[in-house]
Amino acid sequence: LPKGRACKLLPKFIGPYKVLEAQNESSNVVLELPELKARKIHATFHNSLIRPHVPNNDSRFPNREAKAFYDFDDEQEWFVEEIIGHEWTNGGLQFRVQWTLGDVTWEPLSGVKDLEALDRYLELRGVKQPHNLP
């Protein structure tokens, strides 16, 4: 868990996973963990750690994804809504970017050169390349 993240937001259980083997003598089960094998996560768990899968109740929780996991990476993912301006500075060409979360920042050309929003902005300005901007 990254620093500054609350444990209460993590899912208590993940799955469902198929039970491959039940070991009655040790009260363990072996689960099919295809995507976790590559990360060397052991597939044997004690019965006390396993819960039966209960499918989503659409009448109580409509439109809830049954397998919705939260991504707690250190980096937040931001999406560009549109480019709303530009200016030339000593450091080069800067673009004023409107983000989907509402923030507006100045970004260098290297940060926006591969975005569709830049293509739309250049088309609105009537130029083909960013270096042709006035």
Residues 101-121: tens digit of each pLDDT = 788 999 999 999 989 999 999
The whole-model pTM stands at 0.45
Cis peptide before 52 (omega within 30 of 0): no
Q: Taking a C-beta distance cutoff of 8 angstroms, is the pair 98, 107 a contact?
A: no
Say how far apart CA 10 and CA 71 lie, in whole Å: 9
Please give the share of the chain, as a percent, with pLDDT higher than 90. 42
DSSP 8-class letter at 44: E
Q: Domains along the chain?
A: 1-75 (no CATH), 80-132 (2.40.50)
Task: Give CA separation, 134 vs 12, 83, 114, 121, 124, in Å.
Answer: 55, 16, 20, 13, 13
Q: Comparing 19 with 41, which gets the higher pLDDT?
A: 19
Say how far apart CA 100 and CA 82 lie, in whole Å: 9
